[in-house]
Amino acid sequence: MIASPDILFPALALMGLTACVWLWMLISRKKALQQSPQSMQVFATQQQTQTFLQQANLPAENFSNLFELPVIFYVMCLMLFVTQHSSFVFLVLAWSFVILRTGHSLVHIFFNHVIIRFVLYLLSSVMLWLIVILFAMELFDY
């Protein structure tokens, strides 16, 4: 068991990734708007935004993705820390999740190759569900 805050570092790293994607989203949307004679009204609906901003919208889609499964990751990191059930295995799985999600974000935003993106998503999901399952097993003494 690790009684230190080490398990919180991967969570902070993922928050850093989320902040970077958010910033990239703002920059790419601002750039797209500056290159267009249209008004801000193109952002009135999600469908209009997607049509107008196609490439600039990829960071926004990825930003939304970072609030899906990663929410479970944040909760698990906190639960592992609070219950002092963190171990080297959980730390490796947590960093693996963060690295794979970072790869997923980079692929999604910069060249959006669906197969590569899916493999990274699937592998990161496996890491997350392993964290959940192993924690549950430890918690219930299996």
Q: Rounded distance, CA 71 to CA 91, Å?
A: 17
Instruction: For residue 41, give both structure tokens.
Output: 């009204």
- Tell me which architecture the domain covering 5-139 has in CATH: Up-down Bundle (1.20)
Domain range summary for the chain, segments of one domain joined by +: 5-139
How does pLDDT run across 64-105, given as a tens digit for each residue? 999 999 999 999 999 999 999 999 999 999 999 999 999 999
Q: What is the DSSP string of 72-133?
A: HHHHHHHHHHHHT---HHHHHHHHHHHHHHHHHHHHHHHT--HHHHHHHHHHHHHHHHHHHH
Per-residue burial over 82-111, b if 16 or more Cβ lie within 10 Å, else e, is: eeebbbeebbebbbbbbbbbbbbbbbbbee
Among 131, 133, 109, CA closest to 120: 109
Q: Which two tokens stand for residue 39?
A: 């008004």
Position 37 scores a pLDDT of 63
- Give mean pLDDT, residues 23-43: 78
| Averaged pLDDT, 20-34 | 89
Residues of the chain with pLDDT > 90: what percent?
Answer: 73
* Gyration radius (Cα) of the chain, Å: 18
- Cα(75)–Cα(68) distance, integer angstroms: 12
- pLDDT of 43 above 70: no
What is the model's pLDDT at position 34? 80
- What is the pLDDT of the chain when averaged over all its residues? 90
- pTM of this prediction? 0.87
Residue 39 has what DSSP assignment?
A: -
